[in-house]
Amino acid sequence: MTPGSEGSTPPTAIKVVDDGPLQVKGTFQVTDGGGGIYEVQHRAVFLCRCGHSAAKPFCDGSHKRHGFTDAGRAEDHGEKD
């Protein structure tokens, strides 16, 4: 089956939201450090980057209240070997 054809699975994509969380879309699994699996009800989730979420690892919007800022760009960080 070719990409974009009926029945194909879209690739997983991770977007760094300016001054916010990581947005993960596609087919994925979120696990904790012990291997436990979080129930994910949707094909997109937002993961906390600020460290203040009461719902870690998921974002609860705390970054807005705490003034989290980070709008780094991909070209700022070269691929590491």
- Which pTM was predicted? 0.79
pLDDT of residue 1: 42
Q: What is the pLDDT of residue 74?
A: 83
Residue 79: which pLDDT band, with cuts at 50, 70 and 90?
Answer: low
CA separation for the pair 65, 43 (Å, rounded):
26
Question: Between the CA of residue 44 and those of 1, 15, 78, 79, what are the distances in Å?
Answer: 24, 11, 26, 25
Taking CA atoms, 65 is separated from 2, 38, 45, 68, 74, in Å, by 44, 25, 20, 8, 26
Does residue 14 or residue 9 have the better pLDDT?
14
CATH of domain 13-66: 3.40.5
Mean pLDDT of the chain: 89
pLDDT average, residue stretch 17-45? 95
